[in-house]
Amino acid sequence: MPEADAQSYRCNPPLFVLLFAAPPLRGAAAAGYVAVVFLLAATAYAVFQVPYVTMPAEMTEDPAERGRILGWRVGFLGVAILLSGALAPALAQADGGSPASYRLMGAAVAVLLALGMFGAWFTTRWAPRAARSESEPSLRAQLATARSHRPFLYLAGMWTLQALAVGVMLAGVQYFATYTLGSPTAVTPLFACLIGPLVLYMPLWSGLSRRWGVKNAQWAASLLFLAGALLLALTPTAGPGLGYAAVAVVGVAYAGLQLLPLTMLADTLAADAARTGKRRAGTFTGLWTAAETLAFALGAGVFALVLAVTGFRSSDADHQVAQPEAALTGITAGMSVLPAVLTAASLWLLHRYREDPAGATEPDSSPAPAPAPLSVPVPSESPRQEENNTRVD
């Protein structure tokens, strides 16, 4: 990884600590503090994430080996999410949800961030490099490059919609646990049902991608996610058991959604390099990371908009407020129907995506094949010359 990435692991963990160690501010001042620190933390994360996503396409040109690299990566990601997901709520609620307990949680998770980021940087310093990416000189040039590559546009658009669906669902987990399942502590088993399969079912999706092809496996994961989300909408009438089962189905699909789009991206980058002779992985992964981060950030905003439209009444931990029926319906719909609609929209983009690099809109710069030579009779001046021409033909 480049030295700029080495700087990001030094910046991101302290910024994460500052995010939860806010001074005693209120109103616009508090919102401004959170916005600035979050922007800085997201920027440091992007500096790390772009080379992190690019590296599989640079380390090997073998699609099967790239798939194995990504499989191990997502498997470790699942373990880290489970560890931090169990540790963070426990620390945050250790002292009744006080500001001090949240500051402790921020510091503990920052240590995990530092270990993961430093470990990824340090242990890949000696990794083989089959190719080196080239960067575009400006954002305008990067956007022009992306517009000229239609397979990347369809793939990035598909994943952006699916990341938005996941972001909306994650934003609604606490509300779903509190108001639909009737227990704020239900968020822990819900989280386990969602993230647990990320580790357990990663080999399944990796094997299906090799057997069926990555695109077909992505179809299966997307449809399973869609089915699980729709099943989740029946929780108020069918009971909590169905809710946990539906979230587990979503978790199995989510394991595929974490692995397969990145595998398709690496394959698309390799195909682009083979077709154009240029290594533009850094450009594409930078735009991919920006779209993904924006989608996850918008997820919470979209779910908040659902709450506002349906009349949700704000409350705090000490004073629970009775919610209108419309707000309860909005929580369930925002957790289930809305992610299902976003996932269904992404399927059209997945259908349009072509793994064949010839599907790009850039004209093929390779020279056209020369036309076959024409057999034109050559007049001879003598029988001897005619005999020579016949031998040449």
Residue 285 has a pLDDT of 77
* Residue 168 in tokens: 């909306």
Mean pLDDT of all residues in 288-313: 87
Looking at per-residue pLDDT, the higher value among 325 and 2 belongs to 325
Lowest mean pLDDT among 5-19, 148-162, 321-335: 5-19
Looking at per-residue pLDDT, the higher value among 286 and 210 belongs to 210
Whose CA is closest to 8, among 34, 44, 41, 38? 44
Other C-beta atoms closer than 10 Å to the C-beta of 78 total 22
Rounded CA separation 393/391 (Å): 5
> Predicted confidence band at 365 (pLDDT cuts at 50, 70, 90)?
very low
Helix (DSSP H) and strand (DSSP E) numbers for the chain: 15, 0
In the predicted structure, residue 3 carries a pLDDT above the cut 70: no
Lowest mean pLDDT among 33-42, 306-315, 376-385: 376-385
Residue 389 has a pLDDT of 44
Q: Give the model confidence (pLDDT) of 234-263 as tens digits.
A: 999 998 899 999 999 999 999 899 889 988
Residue 102 has a pLDDT of 85
Residue 16 has a pLDDT of 87
Looking at per-residue pLDDT, the higher value among 2 and 334 belongs to 334
Q: Give the model confidence (pLDDT) of 60-112 as tens digits.
A: 777 777 777 777 777 777 777 777 766 777 787 777 767 888 888 888 888 88
Residue 4 has a pLDDT of 44
Q: Give the model confidence (pLDDT) of 97-108 as tens digits.
A: 678 888 888 888
In the predicted structure, residue 382 carries a pLDDT above the cut 50: no
**DSSP state at residue 356:** S
In the predicted structure, residue 199 carries a pLDDT above the cut 80: no
Mean confidence (pLDDT) of the chain:
78
Rounded CA separation 260/155 (Å): 11
Looking at per-residue pLDDT, the higher value among 126 and 345 belongs to 345
Under 8 Å CB-to-CB from 86, ≥6 apart: which residues?
188
> Predicted confidence band at 217 (pLDDT cuts at 50, 70, 90)?
very high
Mean pLDDT of all residues in 274-279: 72
Angstrom CA distances, 363 to 22, 151, 158, 180, 353, stand at: 53, 14, 24, 53, 18
Residue 333 has a pLDDT of 94
In the predicted structure, residue 362 carries a pLDDT above the cut 60: no
In the predicted structure, residue 311 carries a pLDDT above the cut 60: yes
Residue 134 has a pLDDT of 62
Residue 138 has a pLDDT of 62
**241-252 per-residue burial string, b: 16 or more CB within 10 A, e: under 16:** ebbbbbbbbbbb
Looking at per-residue pLDDT, the higher value among 172 and 119 belongs to 172
pTM of the model: 0.72
Rounded CA separation 295/205 (Å): 24
Highest mean pLDDT among 159-163, 181-185, 255-259, 378-382: 159-163
In the predicted structure, residue 301 carries a pLDDT above the cut 70: yes
Looking at per-residue pLDDT, the higher value among 2 and 169 belongs to 169
In the predicted structure, residue 2 carries a pLDDT above the cut 70: no
Other C-beta atoms closer than 10 Å to the C-beta of 279 total 20
Q: Give the model confidence (pLDDT) of 129-177 as tens digits.
A: 665 656 666 667 767 777 778 888 899 999 999 999 999 998 898 889 8
Lowest mean pLDDT among 6-10, 97-101, 124-128, 330-334: 6-10
Q: What is the DSSP string of 300-354?
A: HHHHHHHHHHTT-----SS---PPPHHHHHHHHHHHTHHHHHHHHHHHHHHHH--
Residue 363: left if φ>0, alpha if ψ -120 to 50, beta else—which one? Answer: beta
